[in-house]
Structures are given as C-alpha cells and as structure tokens.
Amino acid sequence: MDRQAQIDLILDHYENPRHRGPLADASAVETGTNPGCGDVVTIYLKAGREGSIADISFDGNGCTISQAGASIVAEMFAGKTLGDVEATGPDAILGLIGPDIAAARQKCALLGLNTAQVAARRLYTVHFPMLG
C-alpha cells in the first residue's frame, strides 16, 4: 500500500468506524489510554464457544490514528478467536497504517491492539483457567 492509500485507510476508519459502540452483553470490557496525549480506547469482547469471539466493538476518543487503529482491530478480529488476538503482533497494525505514518505515533496506532489483547487475555484465563 502506498502512503496515500495508507492515509486514506486511516481516514476511512476514522470517519466510518467499524464496530463502534458499546456491546451490551460483553464478556470483557477493557479501557486503554495514552495518558500523555489523551487517547482513550475501550474494547468490548463477547466470547463465544471454545474461545471464539462472538462479537467485538470499540469506543473511544482521541487522535485519528488511535481511533482508526481501534476500528481496524475490531474489524480484524470479528469472527476470529481469542487466540488470534493474542497471537497478533504490532506489525499487523503498523504494516497497514504505514511505517512512516506510524513511526512517531506507535503508541497511538497500537492502543487498540494492546487494549484488545489485555481484554482477550482476561477472557482467555477465565475460559481456560488451567492455561491462565
């Protein structure tokens, strides 16, 4: 993806966020912040059977990259498993957003992913306690 396409992707997710809004019957709700700049992302996860993700959504406030990153994360993991969330490295997000755009703002770009991973980890240990 070239730079313009990456910018367009970020703006698209920022202006037309996917899976935005709280989940009434979430199994886990986790809020992550970048206190330094005021980005806030809340991830709502509803676990299905055997570690699958029945539903995922996000909410929040902050810079375009943090909110777009959260939208990308919600879209990425809808219909996937908790294990998928845990196994996803930062490059999956940074690669989409673009290295030079993300360079100065990694914390913003990864806020959604990091928050989702904390939420997933929590659910994971609840659902598979002997592994937690």
Partner 1 sequence: MLLDVAVSPDRAIDVEQIRADFPILERRVHEHPLVYLDNAASSQKPRQVLDAMDRYYRTTNANVHRGVHTLSEDATALYEAARARVSEFVGACCPKEIIWTRNATEAINLVAYSWGRANLGRGDRILLTEMEHHANLVPWQILAAEKEVELDFVPVADDGTLKLDRLPKLLTPRTRLFAFTAASNVVGTLNPVREMAAAAHKAGALALVDGAQSVPHMPVNVQELDIDFMAFSGHKMLGPTGIGVLWGRRELLNAMPPFMGGGDMIREVHLRESRWNELPWKFEAGTPAIAEAIGLGAAVSYLAGIGMEAVQAHGRQVVDYAMARLSEVKGLRILGATTNPRGALVAFTLGEIHPHDIAGALDSLGIAVRAGHHCAQPLHQRFGIPASTRASFYIYNNEAEVDLLVAGLQKVIEFFSS
Q: Which residues sit at the interface with partner 1, rule CB under 8 A?
A: 35-39, 62-66, 101, 104-105, 108
Q: Least distance from C-beta 123 to partner 1, angstroms? A: 29
CA distances from 109 to 24, 36, 41, 43, 77 (A): 26, 14, 11, 14, 16
Q: Which is nearer to partner 1, 9 or 63 (CB)?
A: 63
Q: Which of 4, 119, 1, 127 is nearest to 70 (CA)?
A: 119
Q: Which is nearer to partner 1, 37 or 87 (CB)?
A: 37
Q: Could you tell me the two tokens for 80? A: 């996937």
Instruction: Report the alpha-carbon distance of residue 89 to residue 94 in Å, rounded.
Output: 9
Q: Which is nearer to partner 1, 65 or 85 (CB)?
A: 65
Q: Least distance from C-beta 73 to partner 1, angstroms? A: 18
Q: Least distance from C-beta 87 to partner 1, angstroms? A: 29
Q: Which is nearer to partner 1, 85 or 97 (CB)?
A: 97
Q: Which amino acid is located at 94 in the chain?
A: L
Partnered with residue 81 across adjacent β-strands are: 52
Q: Least distance from C-beta 68 to partner 1, angstroms? A: 11
